Structure 1
Amino acid sequence: MKIFYNSLGFRTLLYREIHRFFKVFVQTILAPLLSNLLYLAVFGGMLKTREVGLEGVNYLHFLVPGLVTMGALMAAYQNPSFSLVQQKFQGTIQEINSYPISDMEKSMAFILGGTFRGILVGILTYVATLPFVGFYIEKPFLFFFSIILTSFIFSSLGLIFGLLLDNFEKMNFILAIVITPLSYLGGVFFEISKLSGILAYLGLLNPIYPLVSITRYAYLGFNEGSIIAQGSSAAIFLVVTFVTSILLFKKGIGIKVR
């Protein structure tokens, strides 16, 4: 059986996922963008003279790549997860089984829809910071690749939780109790090296930390830790989330009636 055999059906489902969040762009695009700008204004305004552990880097420049990464991963995660849970709430989830496209095409449409939303929020967050920090990216290609990578990983993760969970309460619990704290403790607002004791080890084990570090390295040209180790961690995270999401979708978890 072909993995991809109905390009029109795939594009239609992908368009539906993208169109879905554009219909409520105030909630899906504008709201996270304004939140990131508030973070920049509050933390940047209060701590703009704070020294960071990277020589020659002020706190505003340090903060930008963290906010870009956080905005991208949050948006990418929410798109497929809330799309699937919404269909479960409406009782239309099993209609996915009748789509004349392969399981790979279905899952990739959800993942790429979330990836697109994550990229959009990430790039708009960066553009919105330009009046505060000016136009500057040390490694532009790596910077935008990191946004794409982060968005793809968390869109795959969103697909996983969208399949496993069956209501908005559980989805919001994961977002508020797991994803958000991991983002805050993943080096977005401070250097992991400033942590001590068990918090330092937990910070290094945080799967979001390598993604923030790679984006910061691309933006500033240097960062704390080994970029090779962080790249390897991000690659492992990518493979695990993507393969797991595809396998769950192919097995019909959360979609097919048992």
Structure 2
Amino acid sequence: MSKTSIFYNKTGFMTLLKREIHRFMKVSVQTILAPLLSNILYLGIFGGMLQTREVGIEGVNYLYFLVPGLTTMGAILASFQNPSFSIVVQKFQNTVQDLNSYPISDIEKSLAFVLGGTFRGLLVGSLTYFATIFFVGYRIEHPLLFFVSLAVTSFIFASIGLISGLILDSFEKMNFVLAIVITPLTYIGGVFFEITKLPGMLSKIRYINPIYPLVNITRYTYIGVYEGNLLLQLLAASVFCIGFFFIAVYIFKKGFGIKID
């Protein structure tokens, strides 16, 4: 079987995937518990202060509106961080070149890193939802689609995280992307409020913000209503899912950030 096959070496692929999962599970207080507590604090603070705030959706209170946004945000940040910081750590330790010697295909390497990040994102997002049951109850309009949406969102941002980890070469640059790009896009992506209520040009940001359709899809699966054109948002999510992953595979194949010149 050639190295262009998806599973050239299943044992090697599973070993790398398990390593990526084990890596963040060893420090679960930082990787799982910390973001979970942050999301619960968001729910407590914003929900407590704004629980009487009117939402432009009849029969939906603000706490119920907030939950899918927080679960999506948790999934995005966790899934992005996992592969990106894993690669940068290997660069810092000067062991990233070892990836070239792994007897697995570039797709397997990329998929292992991305699925590791996807698992972490799905775990944080799901635990955030389960924690919010104590505040808003367990009702979900489309339970299976809700978790599928979190998984797809995590897959997309794990792919973006892998791309960032391969291209960037320091924790400072990675933290810059996370703090200056990903986090602000998340905040104005509909996590805490309806995008249509933003004034002027700010409301148009949704057309260029890749996080908005992901939040909106998850909110639809949770409460059964949505903003904008759901079909276009589903199409955008599909394009993001496939596109970013294959960009990551391409960068991996070219050896950016891995091969020594």
- Over residues 190-232 of structure 1, what are the superposed CA-to-partner deviations in whole Å (9 max), with x where a residue is unaligned? 0001012111111332100000000000000112212111111
User: In structure 2, how many angstroms separate the alpha carbons of the residues matched to 1:224 and 1:61?
Assistant: 16
Equivalence for 1:87: 90
- Over residues 43-82 of structure 1, what are the superposed CA-to-partner deviations in whole Å (9 max), with x where a residue is unaligned? 0000001001111110000000000000001000000000
Backbone CA RMSD of aligned residues:
0.8
- One-letter amino acid of the structure 1 residue matched with residue 35 of structure 2: P
- One-letter amino acid of the structure 1 residue matched with residue 10 of structure 2: S
Residue in structure 2 matching 1:237, options 235, 240, 258: 240
User: In structure 1, how many angstroms separate the alpha carbons of the residues matched to 2:243 and 2:175?
Assistant: 23
Q: TM-score, normalised by structure 2?
A: 0.97
- Count of residues in Structure 1 that have an aligned counterpart in Structure 2: 258
Equivalence for 2:196: 193
2:51 paired with 1:48? yes
2:220 partner SS:
helix
2:139 partner SS:
coil
CA contact (8 A) 1:192 1:204 kept: no
Per-residue deviation, 1:239: 2.3
User: In structure 2, how many angstroms separate the alpha carbons of the residues matched to 1:223 and 1:95?
Assistant: 46
Residue in structure 2 matching 1:28, options 18, 28, 31: 31
1:81 partner SS:
helix
Identity of aligned residues (%): 67
The answer to which of 229-238 and 27-36 deviates more is 229-238
User: In structure 1, how many angstroms separate the alpha carbons of the residues matched to 2:33 and 2:184?
Assistant: 22
2:15 paired with 1:19? no
CA contact (8 A) 1:54 1:224 kept: no
User: In structure 1, how many angstroms separate the alpha carbons of the residues matched to 2:49 and 2:228?
Assistant: 26
Equivalence for 2:8: 5
Equivalence for 1:177: 180
Q: Counterparts of 1:1-258 in structure 2 under 5 Å?
A: 1-2=2-3, 3=5, 4-258=7-261
CA contact (8 A) 1:33 1:71 kept: yes
Q: TM-score, normalised by structure 1?
A: 0.98
User: In structure 1, how many angstroms separate the alpha carbons of the residues matched to 2:205 and 2:126?
Assistant: 29
- Over residues 84-134 of structure 1, what are the superposed CA-to-partner deviations in whole Å (9 max), with x where a residue is unaligned? 000000000001111111111111110000000001001000000000000
User: In structure 1, how many angstroms separate the alpha carbons of the residues matched to 2:239 and 2:212?
Assistant: 13
Unaligned runs of 5+ in 1: none
User: In structure 1, how many angstroms separate the alpha carbons of the residues matched to 2:202 and 2:240?
Assistant: 21
User: In structure 2, how many angstroms separate the alpha carbons of the residues matched to 1:22 and 1:185?
Assistant: 30
1:136 partner SS:
coil
Moved over 6 A (4+): none
Unaligned runs of 5+ in 2: none
